[in-house]
């Protein structure tokens, strides 16, 4: 879904804003924040799924995996080797996922060209926002590693931070501590 499309401007955005500002839980600030996080997370996942629904699974896997990587990094603060291993595992997973979808076609074509190989390749559609949310996730786990932020212990706020669709127009990576 494109930000300037009629579907986004006249259906998706007004619906999300209406649900977000719906005064459901005025008495409890905690419930209000949880409700708003649910609205933002679900609507953001729908936004990403609009173009290629199957890739929402990749995004969910990345979020859950890196959520636990962040916790593992923080829990191993007294063991620098384990802490660094968790960070490298997280970064390795993220770089692999990004590289696979962005560069696997280029690599196959290069191998075919350089070595005269005939490796069959079917181009994969690029998951919407994969670069954005992958770098967003890596920024988070690196910040946890350096102790700039604490690891998020609740999955919903973490998923909301990673998937929040309005951030796509922010340009640069928005750090976890800013959100």
What is the DSSP annotation of 52-81? -GGGHHHHHHHHHHHHHHHHHHHHTTT-HH
Structure tokens at 142: 């690196």
pLDDT digits (tens, 9 = 90+) for 69-123: 999 999 998 999 999 999 999 999 999 999 999 999 889 999 999 999 899 888 8
Structure tokens at 67: 């959520």
How many Cβ atoms sit within 10 Å of the Cβ of residue 98? 18
> 18-35 burial, b if ≥16 CB within 10 A, otherwise e?
ebeeeeeeeeeeeeeeeb
pTM: predicted TM-score of the whole model, two decimal places: 0.86
Asked if the model's pLDDT at residue 176 lies above 80, the reply is no
Asked if the model's pLDDT at residue 131 lies above 80, the reply is yes
């Amino acid at each position: 879904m494109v930000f300037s499309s009629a579907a986004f401007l006249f259906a998706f955005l007004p619906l999300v804003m209406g649900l977000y500002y719906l005064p459901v839980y005025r008495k409890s600030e905690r419930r209000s924040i949880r409700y708003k996080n649910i609205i933002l997370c679900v609507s953001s996942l729908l936004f990403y799924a609009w173009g290629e629904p199957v890739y929402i699974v990749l995004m969910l896997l990345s979020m859950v995996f890196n959520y636990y990587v962040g916790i593992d990094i923080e829990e191993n603060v007294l063991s620098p080797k384990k802490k660094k291993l968790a960070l490298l595992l997280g970064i390795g997973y993220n770089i692999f996922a990004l590289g696979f979808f962005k560069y696997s076609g280029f690599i196959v074509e290069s191998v075919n060209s350089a070595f005269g190989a005939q490796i069959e390749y079917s181009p994969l559609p690029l998951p919407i926002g994969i670069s954005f949310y992958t770098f967003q996730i890596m920024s988070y786990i690196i910040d946890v590693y350096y102790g700039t932020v604490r690891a998020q212990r609740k999955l919903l706020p973490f998923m909301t931070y990673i998937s929040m669709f309005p951030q796509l127009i922010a340009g640069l990576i928005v750090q976890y501590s800013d959100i």
